[in-house]
Amino acid sequence: DQQVKQNSPSLSVQEGRISILNCDYTNSMFDYFLWYKKYPAEGPTFLISISSIKDKNEDGRFTVFLNKSAKHLSLHIVPSQPGDSAVYFCAASAIRSSGGSNYKLTFGKGTLLTVNP
């Protein structure tokens, strides 16, 4: 059962335009969400995160939006650059029932973003 879903395996956008990557989740216990970027033959690098107490977090060209009622989050990249071409993973974490984070992340399958010059 896939708890974190990235339904678009790939996305292609023009340089300078907005890239929107989507992620849906099913586990209502998830309370912290992260986006990672991965280039081929490298490990994923942390990009941006958001806690469930917020609905938006911004860092430079990257903004993450969280809609808890829809169990949906999205990553916006504005403006998109060719160097942004990579696989983007959405990840989520749930609080243990006894309190505190369980430190485990559940990842989506990733979306390959291609930004064309």
Partner 1 sequence: DVKVTQSSRYLVKRTGEKVFLECVQDMDHENMFWYRQDPGLGLRLIYFSYDVKMKEKGDIPEGYSVSREKKERFSLILESASTNQTSMYLCASSTTREGETQYFGPGTRLLVL
Please say which residue, 105 or 115, places its beta carbon nearer to partner 1.
105
Q: State the DSSP H helix or E strand holding residue 115, giving kind and residue range, or none if neither.
A: strand 111-116
Are the C-beta atoms of 66 and 75 separated by less than 8 Å? Answer: no
Burial of 113 (0-12, 13-18, 19+ CB in 10 A): buried
CB of 14 to partner 1, least distance (A): 26
Residue 83, CA distances (Å) to 41, 62, 107, 113 in order: 15, 14, 23, 10
Residues in contact with partner 1 by CB under 8 A are 6, 9, 32, 34, 36, 41-46, 49, 89, 93, 101, 103-105, 107-110
Provide the minimum distance between the beta carbon of 11 and partner 1 in the complex, in angstroms, as a whole number: 16
* Nearer to partner 1 among residue 5 and residue 15 (C-beta): 5
Which CB, 54 or 109, lies closer to partner 1? 109
Shortest Å, Cβ 69 to partner 1: 22
